[in-house]
Amino acid sequence: MKTKIFQNEGFTSFLSSLAAIVAGLLVGLIILFVSNSKDAIPAFVMILKGGFEDGSRGLAQVIYFAIPIIMTGLSVGFAFKTGLFNIGASGQFKMGAFVAIYIGVKWSSVPAEIHWLVALLGAMVAGAVWGSGPGILKAFFNVNEVITSIMMNYIGMYLVNMSIVKTIYDSLKNQTKPVLKSAVLPKAGMDKLFNTSNISIGIFIVILAVIVIYIILQKTTFGYELKACGSNREASRYAGINEKRSIILSMLIAGALSGLGGGLLYLSGSGKYIHVLDELAPEGFSGISVALLGMSHPIGIFLSGLFIAHLEVGGFNIQLYNYVPEIIDMIISVIIYCGAFALLFKQIIKKLITKPVIDTDNKDNVEPVPLLISGADKVSVHDEANDVTRQEEDEK
Amino acid sequence: MEYVVEMNNITKVFGNFKALDDVTFKLRKGEVHALLGENGAGKSTLMSILFGLYQAEKGSIKINEKPVKINNPNDASSLKIGMVHQHFKLVHNFTVLESIILGRETVKMGVIKKDEARKKVIALSERYKLRIDPDAYISDITVGMQQRVEILKMLYSDSEILIFDEPTAVLTPQEIDELMKIMKELVSEGKSIIFISHKLNEIKKVADRCTVLRKGKCIGTVDVETTSKEQMSEMMVGRKISFNIEKKDIKTGEAVLEVKNLTIKTKDSKKNKVNNISFAVRGGEILCIAGIDGNGQSELVYGITGLMPINEGQVLLKGKDITKESIRKKSVDGMSHIPEDRHKHGLILDFDLKQNAVLQTYFKPRFQNKGFIKFNAVAEYARKLIKQYDIRSPRDEDSIVRNMSGGNQQKLIVARELDKDPDIVIAVQPTRGLDIGATEYIHKQLVAQRDQGKAVLLVSLELDEVMDISDRILVMYEGEIVGDLNPKEITVEELGLYMAGSKRSGGYEN
């Protein structure tokens, strides 16, 4: 039984992510030492403690940071499963945020009980519209979605800035007007439980989104079609799957997820407003990190989003020791960087784990192990050694 | 007897899969020694150990009677072992000369001294009668020429032991004859050759001795001269192989697939890829489209199946016009397609076996309920196919298809396409790259379809295949049909004339 767990692909993926995280933290420690060696250790401990520093308020803070980046992470990860790189989460996020605030400020005629829900739906629609643009261009004109979605980020940012000034502008503070009370997400007693006002039912909506995406990808024919297109577009065409539809829908859903993330953040009642600045929403890019670290798997994304939020809270706290919170960004980048070596880590881990299996005498009880499990390196237990030959030759 | 290579009692284990089990292989000086076995028998693994890419768990290697340890390809090179891989490893924008000296450049103060290298290359090419143009670019020369470059590369590094890994797979019949001559020439100059193959004709022609592997075990080493093809194939497969395929005598039925005046243009060529083609495939017949590669066969099939838009003409399935229907509709209506390129079209390599098994049927009520896939039903169906079509894989229905051998990947596609119970099967080179056992199996399956009264459209480049299993042959040349032939009435040589475009049958004149 034990061997079964160790040979599980998910388990090795998890271990390789863990290795990346350890590497990132070590680099963080070095940076702390270089900038101020005196307080490095306590500051490092504080980063590790992150959200656990401040009791339930700290946890609430982690959740608050995590909500938008889990959503953009889901967005990027979902598109990635379909073979698309959604770098436009930032623009979709901002569009969603704007529409949510707009509805929250202006649509006072909506019944108060569902005002926030309508605002969130509006955010999803806005994000979906913004995401489907690159999808349509990709499907019908084969325009690279990376380029179009980067452009859509800027278009979205300027459009939002312009629209804010025209409609819901607080000119004194150069930001959006506060939303009506009815548009703020319900707290459902969470604020009392956690003793802070930052928390709301938003986290449950995020969990719901994670579950829905997981089910779509793993259990439905729709998810099967999307993954098939992502994995091999030609074979999907051969199988009669409408790959244009799949691409557009995939980008549309990805956009809706990012848009929802924007809505959830700005309707959380934490006193957050969109400032009219020429700045892309950073949550969109954090989403890429979250998706990479979570290996594009919905549950992995959920966990990695919480983890990165945890570090960010720690980074916020180390200002006590006069460190800048940007150190956290560096740690996260190193983690992502090492995450790119995940395949390498995976192979090393796999080797370490499978070695004993060869030596055991009762081989019959153990499941066969594919040599390598990564998609990029194809080796079969059969006679396809040519492939290895080719790879290693290339390395030479 | 002097052995240049002795591999004694080699065992190699991947996980708990014994790829090689106590295999002994000995190469004499100056012989062509064939290594025969089906896909997955362990041929390439054995050679990878000799070439230093893998290390054996057990066993020893002696080169020139001295025990050695080969840890990497560089060790192998210094022991004068060279290998021509099945897929060449050449840099396409290098010249022939540059490719040959790559990695072994003679350098003076950091500057490559090409003149010396050129002299040596030309001397080598004259000595072994390997004619090449040292200044031609790799991308401009034929596959056969590229192979010569690979061979020269081995010779340039003074290799004495030459490994050829399935060298004939990519060559035309004429190029194969040339290669055989070159191999004989090399041996007469004192080199020793290991020739990996599963084509018995070639082994018979060129090899002196032959070692047969089956499922990682050494079955034996025989003298090629005194052993018949049948005996060798029995050693390889473990049972008797019938080279003749039995077909029932049945009456051909109604036309199942009709193609009328089909024309396909592509952007990159002025001439029509498919030019005004009409034919019909009837139930109970195998209609074969023969021709040299690149004469429009692929485009014709893409046009019929819907993977490529057609410019003019009609496709009728059971009398119904399906020209404009979607690929999905055609498949549901009874068209099966075993595609030419199994990795590009036929399979999603990163999916597991069961998900590939339902690639065109996942949406049927059998496998889904309100949009949710019934994984149990899918797995059960996959197990049924595995059993019925003898598909072998490391982890049955959960195997990632990428980890399966080529033969079993193809069997999976054939199983999936035939199990749909189609009215017409369009099979494009269904046995490309497969060993005898799998080829025989797939031929039998196609004939079984025909015997059930189904229509089969077979596109093949292999003349043996065309002659053996088809009921009628259409020859394509430059996008047109130039002959409608009966395989019982013509010879292979005649067929060759049609394929080369120098003969046309009545009704197909210009």
Parallel/antiparallel/unpaired status of strands B312-317 and B255-264: antiparallel
CB contact under 8 A, A381 and B372: no
Structure-block tokens of residue B175: 């190029």
CB contact under 8 A, A389 and B85: yes
Among partner residues A232, A364, A390, which is closest to B89 by beta-carbon distance? A390
A97 to chain B, minimum CA–CA distance in Å? 32
Contact list in A for residue B349 (CB cut-off 8 A) is: 231-232, 378
| C-alpha–C-alpha distance, residues B256 and B422, integer Å | 11
β-sheet with B286-290: strand ranges across: B335-338, B424-428, B455-460, B286-290, B472-477, B480-485
| C-alpha–C-alpha distance, residues A193 and A187, integer Å | 10
A229 to chain B, minimum CA–CA distance in Å? 9
B498 to chain A, minimum CA–CA distance in Å? 32
Write down the residue that tokens 């022939």 correspond to. Answer: B96
Query: Could you say which DSSP state residue A8 is in?
Result: -
Percentage of chain B modeled with pLDDT above 90: 33
For B485, other C-beta atoms within 10 Å of its C-beta total 20
Structure-block tokens of residue B452: 């059930």
Q: Which of A90, A15, A77 is nearest to A298 (CA)?
A: A77
Candidate from A1-15, A69-83, A230-244 with smallest mean pLDDT: A1-15
pLDDT band per the 50, 70, 90 thresholds, residue A354? low
| C-alpha–C-alpha distance, residues B72 and B20, integer Å | 19
A12 to chain B, minimum CA–CA distance in Å? 16
pLDDT at A342 over 70: no
- pLDDT tens, position by position, B344-363: 899 999 999 999 999 999 99
Q: Which residues contact A170 (CB under 8 A, 6 or more apart)?
A: A176, A177, A178, A273
Q: Which residues contact A128 (CB under 8 A, 6 or more apart)?
A: A252, A253, A255, A256, A259
Q: Which of A329, A334, A294, A297 is nearest to A311 (CA)?
A: A329
Among partner residues A234, A364, A384, which is closest to B345 by beta-carbon distance? A234
Structure-block tokens of residue B490: 């013509």
> What pLDDT score does A229 carry?
92
> What pLDDT score does B434 carry?
74
CB contact under 8 A, B346 and A238: yes
Q: Best residue in A351, A389, A390 to probe B by mutation, most B CBs within 10 Å?
A: A389
Query: Could you say which DSSP state residue A18 is in?
Result: H
CB B238 within 8 Å of CB B214: yes
Among partner residues A232, A237, A386, which is closest to B44 by beta-carbon distance? A386
Q: Best residue in A226, A249, A295, A381 to probe B by mutation, most B CBs within 10 Å?
A: A381
Write down the residue that tokens 């046309």 correspond to. Answer: B504
Strand-pair partners of B277 = B262
Structure-block tokens of residue B3: 């052995």
The per-residue pLDDT of chain B, averaged, comes to 86
B88 to chain A, minimum CA–CA distance in Å? 9
Q: Best residue in A6, A238, A359 to probe B by mutation, most B CBs within 10 Å?
A: A238
For A92, other C-beta atoms within 10 Å of its C-beta total 41
| C-alpha–C-alpha distance, residues B433 and B407, integer Å | 8
pTM, full prediction? 0.74
Where does residue B285 rank: exposed (0-12), middle (13-18), buried (19+ CB within 10 A)?
buried
Q: Which of B226, B227, B190, B182 is nearest to B206 (CA)?
A: B182
Contact list in B for residue A381 (CB cut-off 8 A) is: 14-15, 17, 19, 394, 403
CB contact under 8 A, B403 and A383: no
> What pLDDT score does A353 carry?
65
ipTM reported for the complex, 2 dp: 0.74
B114 to chain A, minimum CA–CA distance in Å? 22
Q: Tell me how many helices (H) and strands (E) chain A has.
A: 17, 2
For B280, other C-beta atoms within 10 Å of its C-beta total 15
Contact list in A for residue B43 (CB cut-off 8 A) is: 383
Maximum Cα–Cα distance across chain B = 78
Among partner residues B74, B85, B326, which is closest to A390 by beta-carbon distance? B85
- Find the residue in B nearest to A350 (Cα): B15
A288 to chain B, minimum CA–CA distance in Å? 23
Structure-block tokens of residue B35: 């290594």
CB contact under 8 A, A381 and B326: no
| C-alpha–C-alpha distance, residues A86 and A247, integer Å | 11
| C-alpha–C-alpha distance, residues B337 and B347, integer Å | 12
Contact list in A for residue B44 (CB cut-off 8 A) is: 383-386, 389
| H or E stretch at B218 | strand B217-223
pLDDT at A154 over 60: yes
Per residue, the 3-state secondary structure of A104-152, as one string, reads HHHCCCCCHHHHHHHHHHHHHHHHHHHHHHHHHHHHHHCCCHHHHHHHH
Percentage of chain A modeled with pLDDT above 70: 83
pLDDT at B323 over 50: yes
Residue A265, CA atoms < 13 Å, CB-side half-sphere = 27
> What pLDDT score does A373 carry?
34
Contact list in B for residue A371 (CB cut-off 8 A) is: 14-15, 403
pLDDT band per the 50, 70, 90 thresholds, residue A378? very low
Pseudo-torsion of CA A377, A381, A383, A387, nearest 10°? Answer: 10
Write down the residue that tokens 């967005």 correspond to. Answer: A75
CB contact under 8 A, A383 and B345: no
CB contact under 8 A, B351 and A227: yes
- pLDDT tens, position by position, B20-73: 889 999 999 999 999 988 777 888 889 889 988 888 888 999 999 899 999 888
Contact list in B for residue A370 (CB cut-off 8 A) is: 15, 394-395, 399-400, 403
Strand-pair partners of B338 = B427
Contact list in A for residue B103 (CB cut-off 8 A) is: 396
- pLDDT tens, position by position, A16-40: 778 878 888 888 889 888 888 888 8
CB contact under 8 A, A370 and B327: no
CB pairs under 8 A between A and B: 160
Name the class of domain A37-322. Answer: mainly alpha
CB contact under 8 A, A358 and B347: no
Alpha helices in B192-308 (DSSP H): 200-206, 229-237, 297-305
Amino acid at A305: G
pLDDT band per the 50, 70, 90 thresholds, residue A46? confident
Structure-block tokens of residue B203: 């082994």
**CA pseudo-torsion sign B167, B171, B177, B182:** negative
Structure-block tokens of residue B149: 């470059």
B500 to chain A, minimum CA–CA distance in Å? 31
Parallel/antiparallel/unpaired status of strands B312-317 and B368-369: unpaired
pLDDT at B294 over 60: yes
- Find the residue in A nearest to B364 (Cα): A221
CB contact under 8 A, A389 and B362: no
**CA pseudo-torsion sign B457, B458, B463, B469:** negative
Among partner residues B330, B359, B405, which is closest to A384 by beta-carbon distance? B405
- Find the residue in B nearest to A386 (Cα): B44
- pLDDT tens, position by position, A74-118: 999 999 998 899 999 999 999 999 999 999 999 989 898 899 999
Contact list in B for residue A378 (CB cut-off 8 A) is: 349, 402-403
CB B289 within 8 Å of CB B495: no
**CA pseudo-torsion sign B353, B359, B360, B364:** positive
> What pLDDT score does A245 carry?
93
B229 three-class SS: helix
Strand-pair partners of B83 = B163
Q: Best residue in B213, B400, B403, B404 to probe A by mutation, most A CBs within 10 Å?
A: B403
Contact list in A for residue B395 (CB cut-off 8 A) is: 367-368, 370
Contact list in B for residue A375 (CB cut-off 8 A) is: 350, 402
CB A264 within 8 Å of CB A75: no
B8 three-class SS: strand
CB contact under 8 A, A220 and B73: no
- B266 vs B479: which has the higher pLDDT: B479
CB contact under 8 A, A234 and B344: yes
CB B424 within 8 Å of CB B431: no
CB contact under 8 A, B373 and A221: yes
**CA pseudo-torsion sign A294, A298, A299, A301:** positive
CB A148 within 8 Å of CB A137: yes
Q: What angle do CA A150, A343, B17 make, to 5 degrees?
A: 145
Contact list in B for residue A384 (CB cut-off 8 A) is: 44, 405-406
Alpha helices in B102-237 (DSSP H): 114-127, 143-156, 173-188, 200-206, 229-237
Among partner residues B87, B368, B405, which is closest to A390 by beta-carbon distance? B87
CB contact under 8 A, B85 and A239: no
> What pLDDT score does A371 carry?
37
| C-alpha–C-alpha distance, residues A225 and A233, integer Å | 10
Q: Which domains does chain B have, with CATH numbers?
A: 3-237 (3.40.50.300), 281-298+325-499 (3.40.50.300)
> What pLDDT score does B73 carry?
85
A206-226: average pLDDT:
95
Contact list in B for residue A295 (CB cut-off 8 A) is: none
Query: Could you say which DSSP state residue B66 is in?
Result: E
A208 to chain B, minimum CA–CA distance in Å? 18
B405 to chain A, minimum CA–CA distance in Å? 6
Q: What angle do CA A88, A89, A92 make, to 5 degrees?
A: 90
- A50 vs A217: which has the higher pLDDT: A217
Contact list in A for residue B373 (CB cut-off 8 A) is: 219-221, 224
Parallel/antiparallel/unpaired status of strands A175-176 and A169-170: antiparallel
| C-alpha–C-alpha distance, residues B220 and B24, integer Å | 9
> What pLDDT score does B416 carry?
94
> What pLDDT score does B432 carry?
77
CB B477 within 8 Å of CB B499: yes
Candidate from A22-26, A192-196, A359-363, B142-146 with smallest mean pLDDT: A359-363
Q: What angle do CA B285, B286, B290 make, to 5 degrees?
A: 145
| C-alpha–C-alpha distance, residues A199 and A190, integer Å | 6
pLDDT band per the 50, 70, 90 thresholds, residue B144? confident
pLDDT at B148 over 50: yes
Strand-pair partners of B312 = B263
> What pLDDT score does B472 carry?
92
Contact list in A for residue B397 (CB cut-off 8 A) is: none
CB B206 within 8 Å of CB B180: yes
- B175 vs A41: which has the higher pLDDT: A41
A211-215: average pLDDT:
96
